[in-house]
Amino acid sequence: MAKIAFFSTQNYDRRFFEDNTGGHTFEFFETRLKPNTVKLANGFDGVCVFVNDGVNEQVLKALSEINVGLVALRCAGFNNVDLKAAEKYNIRVMRVPAYSPEAVAEHAVALIMSLARRIHKAYNRVREGNFSLEKLSGFTIHGKTIGVIGTGKIGQAFIRIAKGFGAEVVAYDKYPNENLKKSGVEYLDFDTVLERSDILSLHCPLTPETHHLINRESLAKMKEGAMLVNTSRGKLVDTASVIESLKNGHLGSLAIDVYEQEEKLFFRDLSDLIIRDDQIAQLMIFPNVLITAHQGFFTTESLREITSTTIKNFDDYDAGADSDNEVSCSLIKDC
């Protein structure tokens, strides 16, 4: 049985994994895995990390020096792991490739509907006894064009819901999906999706190629007044350009569940501190911006799925078995 050190542990991680150890032994650390915390993994077979643990070459080298052979991600994205270095130091990397993609897709839709109908404003207004409708006028999603960037598991779940609204769906993916084409999804080049979309939702992974996919140039190609939704990874979007576009009135509204500098903020209660990140502070006061703190995945169903798949990953590692959940340079495109 494997001995695993958990990093970036939240109460809910502890609760779910303590209820379902699969016979493995766990120790839970709240700190992120980084060069100056890696020594905590001494004596363990593997580490279990989340989206903002920085598993770079320095960390992987240090892990190999203390004979840690597994990095198990409690998430799908693996942009925070240097896979080339993992291969070099002979460390296996496993992830949870799918845990209720519908959860993230539904969260994206919740953000869209809140912004479109100004629910975030109306909620506060009614609580204060203000029943006026002034400045709450929204827009109908039916008949609008929704652009989807990345038509993998989450993108597809999102498209199913978008179609239910009676919206026209256009998509861009580096590797278009033939079945989706047959089902009537119109694939276009990236620029045309930007030009056509009233709502643009990002569902592609963060790679060197997609870093700042949404920047000053791409924002300029978007329809005036369009809504941008990012539930994928913060660094897909150049925050400074988005702020500029919101300020000059070109971008109509923004919904984000992920943020470029989220490592310094998200998953922590900072309510009694001064937020030193000027960009998020600015976004927080815009009336047409809605921010959630990386909660797209956060449903009971997803947490169950994450736990059971991660335990299976520990089992496979312990048994030296092959795993479909393993990510390595040789297995993925764009390493």
- Residues near ligand NAI (CB under 6 A) are 76-77, 98, 101, 104, 149-155, 172-175, 203-207, 209-210, 231-233, 257-258, 294, 296-297
Q: In this complex, which beta carbon is closest to ligand NAI, that of residue 144 or of residue 153?
A: 153
| 155-161 contact pairs (CB < 8 A, 24+) | 155/105, 155/203, 155/204, 156/101, 156/180, 157/101, 157/102, 157/104, 157/105, 157/106, 158/105, 158/108, 158/109, 158/201, 158/203, 159/185, 160/105, 161/105, 161/106, 161/109
Reading the block at residue 288, the tokens are 């047409």
d(CA 312, CA 331) in angstroms, rounded, equals 20
Q: Which is nearer to ligand NAI, 70 or 193 (CB)?
A: 193
- Least distance to ligand NAI, CB of residue 178, Å: 12
Minimum gap (Å) between residue 255 Cβ and ligand NAI: 12
**Of 96, 82, 58, 74, nearest to 26 (Cα)?**
74
Report, as residue numbers or ranges, the catalytic residues: 233, 262, 294
Closer to ligand NAI by CB, 65 or 191: give it. Answer: 191
AA identity, residue 290: L
Smallest separation (angstroms) from ligand NAI to the CB of 232: 4
Closest contact distance (angstroms) between CB of 132 and ligand NAI is 34
Nearest to 170 by CA among 197, 206, 209: 197
When the beta carbons of 134 and 324 are compared against ligand NAI, the nearer one is: 324
